[in-house]
Chains A and B, each alone.
Chain A
Amino acid sequence: GAGVSQSPSNKVTEKGKDVELRCDPISGHTALYWYRQRLGQGLEFLIYFQGNSAPDKSGLPSDRFSAERTGESVSTLTIQRTQQEDSAVYLCASSLSDRALHGYTFGSGTRLTVV
């Protein structure tokens, strides 16, 4: 597509439930990133995928968080047993391997509210 697409745009879930967030990157973008933006704060890096290489999971805050990506296509971020502190906007970005030239393109995010 023309841009990075994320779904759902909004998600309200009960504490303890699992949620799955989806990111559809720009076609041909080999790199994909997930970030979390809590209210009034900057973006926190969560996880990075580059082609078929092992993902960098160094930003995942706990083992309740996981993400998958098949090849260079869609990625899903799963949060198990959601907690109220998981409430945030989850942003996905993708880039070509030569990000220096092309930069990163962000999606509009999924706003997650845990009640």
Chain B
Amino acid sequence: AQSVTQPDIHITVSEGASLELRCNYSYGATPYLFWYVQSPGQGLQLLLKYFSGDTLVQGIKGFEAEFKRSQSSFNLRKPSVHWSDAAEYFCAVDPFAGGTSYGKLTFGQGTILTVHP
């Protein structure tokens, strides 16, 4: 079945430490890939997206993600976490990549990030 998996429900890091949030997908072809962040009481904000080309994607707030086709993964990284990064992070895929077909996003379960001072 087509799915998006975020294996880590909750991650805690210290401020200034590096961060990696995992995302795996199971689709036949390479979908469009997204990472969103949701702060408490807020909507989802797009951090970055991947469609094609360079497999290392830069986003906002110092985040980056690397697409690895062989592992069907799209992990989110940040070299040095700030306290304001505490939020919930969602990986999402649009399986109908390309063409004129619409994009019904499928989301992972989310990873809650806690940042200790």
Chain A interfacial positions (CB closer than 8 Å to B): 4, 31, 33, 35, 41-43, 45, 48, 50, 56, 59, 91, 93, 95, 97, 99-100, 103-109
By the criterion CB–CB under 8 Å, are A99 and B94 in contact?
A: yes
Q: Report A-chain residues with C-beta under 8 Å of the C-beta of B46.
A: 103-105
Chain B, interface size: which category?
20 to 34
6 closest Cβ pairs, A-B complex: A108-B43, A106-B44, A42-B107, A106-B43, A43-B107, A42-B109
By the criterion CB–CB under 8 Å, are B102 and A43 in contact?
A: no
A109, B39: Cα distance in complex, Å = 12
Chain B interfacial positions (CB closer than 8 Å to A): 32, 34, 36, 41-46, 49, 51, 90, 92, 94, 97-98, 100, 102-110
Partner among A45, A48, A103, A107 whose Cβ is within 8 Å of the Cβ of B34: A103
Number of A-B contacts (CB under 8 A): 60
By the criterion CB–CB under 8 Å, are B103 and A45 in contact?
A: no
In the complex, what residue of chain A is closest to B36 when comparing beta carbons? A106
A48, B46: Cα distance in complex, Å = 19
By the criterion CB–CB under 8 Å, are B109 and A41 in contact?
A: yes
Other contacts beyond A35-B107, A105-B46, A108-B41: 15, CB < 8 A: A4-B43, A31-B103, A33-B104, A41-B109, A42-B90, A42-B109, A48-B104, A50-B102, A93-B105, A95-B103, A99-B32, A99-B102, A100-B32, A100-B98, A109-B43
Q: Report B-chain residues with C-beta under 8 Å of the C-beta of A106.
A: 36, 43-45
Q: Report A-chain residues with C-beta under 8 Å of the C-beta of B36.
A: 106
By the criterion CB–CB under 8 Å, are A107 and B43 in contact?
A: yes
By the criterion CB–CB under 8 Å, are B108 and A42 in contact?
A: yes
What are 25 A-B interface contacts by the 8 Å CB criterion? A31-B103, A33-B105, A42-B90, A42-B107, A42-B108, A42-B110, A43-B44, A43-B92, A45-B104, A45-B105, A45-B106, A48-B102, A59-B104, A93-B44, A97-B100, A99-B94, A100-B32, A100-B51, A100-B98, A100-B103, A103-B49, A104-B46, A106-B43, A106-B45, A108-B41
By the criterion CB–CB under 8 Å, are A43 and B105 in contact?
A: yes
Residue among A41, A43, A48, A56 with the highest chain B CB neighbour number at 10 A: A43
Q: Report B-chain residues with C-beta under 8 Å of the C-beta of A41.
A: 109-110
